[in-house]
Amino acid sequence: MGRYDHVPQAELEVTQADGTRRRVRYYRRRQLPDPRDLTTLATHTVAPRDRLDLVSHAYTADALGGWRLADANAALDPDDLVGDEAVGTDLRIPTPGVGGV
């Protein structure tokens, strides 16, 4: 499941600089789940050289699921969850498919 699977699409007609019109499709804003509503699968203590894709894969077998970890930890920038400043902090790993992630 991808983060935009349940996000509705919208369409807009725009006029370009040369006067021609074209339709533009886009995804509407994705509403983030409340982290308190997510079920925790595990907790991971961030270690030096951790990468979000590897942490996600280790717990959920989905290297592309880093967005779930960002949602569960209320991180606007997923890179803030790992790296030098995050070493030693606990990272909440949500259960995939439960609570909107």
Domain ranges of the chain: 35-94
Record the tokens describing residue 37, joined without a space.
Answer: 């509503």
What H or E segment, with its residue span, contains residue 2? none
Q: What are phi and psi of 100, to 5 degrees?
A: 100, 0
Q: What are phi and psi of 23, to 5 degrees?
A: -90, 140
Whole-model pTM? Answer: 0.71
Q: What contacts 33, CB < 8 A, 6 or more positions away?
A: 71, 99, 100, 101
Per-residue pLDDT of the chain in tens (101 residues, 90 and over written 9): 676 677 789 999 999 999 999 999 998 887 788 888 888 999 999 999 999 999 999 999 999 999 999 999 999 899 999 989 999 999 999 998 765 55
